[in-house]
Amino acid sequence: MKRAYTDEHAASGVSAPLPEIETWPNQYREPYEIEIDMPEFTSVCPKTGLPDFGKILLRYVPNRRCLELKSYKMYLLAYRNLGIFQENAVNRILRDVVKYAAPRSATVIGDFTPRGGLGTIVTATWNAKRGKR
């Protein structure tokens, strides 16, 4: 059986340039959780070129910085024309949130609309105490 997906498909979008996410100083030292919901997330399948639709939910506990919502929105909108697998999009979003905000912890959940009868939910988590996902 011939492989339909290539290594280039798998790596597509992982290192693509995207807008920076701006942050602002957190005014509170006691831990609290922020939840940001993007119900109309869109990216592109790198093999078929068809759009992938879904919901991105970010939950994070800020440390010294909080995400500025408009810049986070513009960052997510940049995926609209980016060829990237759903799993890679969720992990890339988490990586970039950690890079810009350095939260105490963060979780990104991508709940993608079914296509051809299959829906996908991808969850990626990071914790500063562990320093990794």
State yes or no: is 66 an active-site residue: no
Amino acid at 121: I
Q: Read off the tokens for 91.
A: 């992990």
Q: Read off the tokens for 75.
A: 């960052």
Cβ neighbours around 50 below 10 Å, total: 9
Residue 42 neighbours by CB under 8 Å, 6+ apart: 51, 52, 53, 54, 79, 80
Which single residue is written with the structure tokens 């999009």?
A: 89
Provide the 3-class DSSP secondary structure of residue 95. helix
State yes or no: is 52 an active-site residue: yes
Write down the catalytic residue from 7, 37, 45, 66.
Answer: 45
**Any idea which residues carry the catalytic annotation?**
45, 52
